[in-house]
Structure 1
């Protein structure tokens, strides 16, 4: 069992406040964040949360840190990154505002976030804005813990991989909160590329995959991840390697082998190979979980396939004849 794996047996011992800030993270993921903060981290290196949202996940992690005797609030820091506003490209909800909706003249919920996290402000550093602007490209300080709930686009994941994954060392912990998202395949094939150098903690905690770095990650591997330097076939093979390690989440509710199979369709889709994407996706329509939760994904892939110009058999024959 991994060092992180021992935390799974402690879920029932966690008592989080009933009035946690609004969050889109499940109770199990909140409990795991608390357990990591309380029983695993030290604060000697950077503790980073990318995508703090309304503050529920930040609160659970900070509460664990505050109760951790190994964590020194005077020296340790929890770094919280987010746009802290609603609007196009932020993937934020108006529920992150204390009132439950955006004021007419302000799209920022930063003050609401500060108020909710008031007990932890002495060791909380808030970085508000576009991650490309709020993160330091020259910062090479080691990262002890990285919670990634911000990589909703390939552009943002490039920043995450360039400026944060490169600072992971043996013992560093990564939590991918969106691992159940088929539209975010970069999370899956990048994990596949990292498999020789990490140890997965155990079954995903709902949509979160947790792993610990066990060996130094070669610079060329990190470079390929940050530059997305993989062919489509390489990406699919890397995702298959992850499927060989990950099955259902710890509650038994999310079938990750199927989720990653649908994510493979999005690898082809983003590459413009819509026929290939639909050939992968259509075989998954009978999957109970995917048909219930990802109907819009199938519609999107089918629509792209239908819109792609079709070449008739006769046209293909004429082209072949013309080549002779």
Structure 2
């Protein structure tokens, strides 16, 4: 068991404040962030949250740090990165505003974030804007903790890899918050590439996979991830390796083997091989979890497949009866 794996037994006993800022992550994930701050992290190296949103996850982690017997608020710093605004490409919600909706002609919720995190501002450093602009390419200082809830596109994931994963050292802790997202396969095949150098803490905590670095990560591995040099087949094999390590999340609700199989379909989809993507996705339609939560994913892949067939003279209907059933039509 990893050091952070021991925190699982404490999850049921955590009681967070009722007035925690709005967050899109589950209560279980917030509890785990609190436990990391309270019982594991030291702040001797960088503590980084990529994608702070409305502040719920930041608050839970900062509260744990404040109650830690080893974290020194005078020297330790928690770095919070986000656009801190709503709009195209930000993946933010208007619920991040204190009022619950965007004020007229103001798309920034940065002031709301600061207000919610006011108790922790003495040791909180806020970096607002595009990650490529707010992160320092020359900063090589070690990262003790990295919470990734921002890598929604390959462009951003490249920045995460080049400027943050490259600074991990043995003992560093990483949380991938979007690990239950089939549309983000770079999270999955990159984890497969890192398996020789990490230890997975335990079952995913709802959508979050936690792992600890146990060996130095070679530069050529990080370069390959940043430049996306693996072939489709190599990426599928890397995801298969992750499937061998994890099954359901710790509550039993998310079937990660199926989620990761669906992720493989998106590897092919993004590579333009829509026939292969649909051949990987179609057998998963009968999966109860995926059919209930990812119906739009099936529709997207089937539509791309049908359009590809039509473009290449294959004809075919827009949506098969099978997909229609899965979508409740």
TM-score (normalised: structure 1): 0.96
Counterpart of 1:28 in structure 2 is: 28
Looking at structure 2, the residues matched to 291 and 40 of structure 1 have their Cα atoms a distance apart, in angstroms, of: 38
Structure 2: state its 5+ residue gaps: 316-329
Question: After the TM superposition, which residues 222-261 of structure 1 pair with which residues of structure 2 at under 5 Å, given as runs?
Answer: 222-261=222-261
Looking at structure 1, the residues matched to 162 and 206 of structure 2 have their Cα atoms a distance apart, in angstroms, of: 27
Counterpart of 2:87 in structure 1 is: 87
Structure 1: state its 5+ residue gaps: 314-324
Q: Secondary structure at the match of 1:127?
A: strand
Looking at structure 1, the residues matched to 204 and 169 of structure 2 have their Cα atoms a distance apart, in angstroms, of: 22
- Alignment of 1:189 with 2:189, yes or no, is yes
Question: After the TM superposition, which residues 59-70 of structure 1 pair with which residues of structure 2 at under 5 Å, given as runs?
Answer: 59-70=59-70
- Alignment of 1:122 with 2:139, yes or no, is no
Q: Secondary structure at the match of 2:181?
A: coil
- Alignment of 1:166 with 2:162, yes or no, is no
TM-score (normalised: structure 2): 0.94
Q: Which has the larger radius of gyration?
A: 1
Q: Deviations over 1:176-203 (max 9, x none)?
A: 0000000000000000000000000000
What is the total number of aligned residue pairs between the two structures? Answer: 313
Question: After the TM superposition, which residues 9-20 of structure 1 pair with which residues of structure 2 at under 5 Å, given as runs?
Answer: 9-20=9-20
Looking at structure 2, the residues matched to 153 and 104 of structure 1 have their Cα atoms a distance apart, in angstroms, of: 28
**TM superposition shift of 1:310:** 3.9
Q: Secondary structure at the match of 2:210?
A: strand
**TM superposition shift of 1:13:** 1.9
Counterpart of 2:211 in structure 1 is: 211
Q: CA RMSD in A?
A: 0.9
Looking at structure 2, the residues matched to 101 and 187 of structure 1 have their Cα atoms a distance apart, in angstroms, of: 31
**TM superposition shift of 1:312:** 5.7
> Segments of 4+ in structure 1 off by > 6 A?
none
Counterpart of 2:270 in structure 1 is: 270
Counterpart of 1:320 in structure 2 is: none
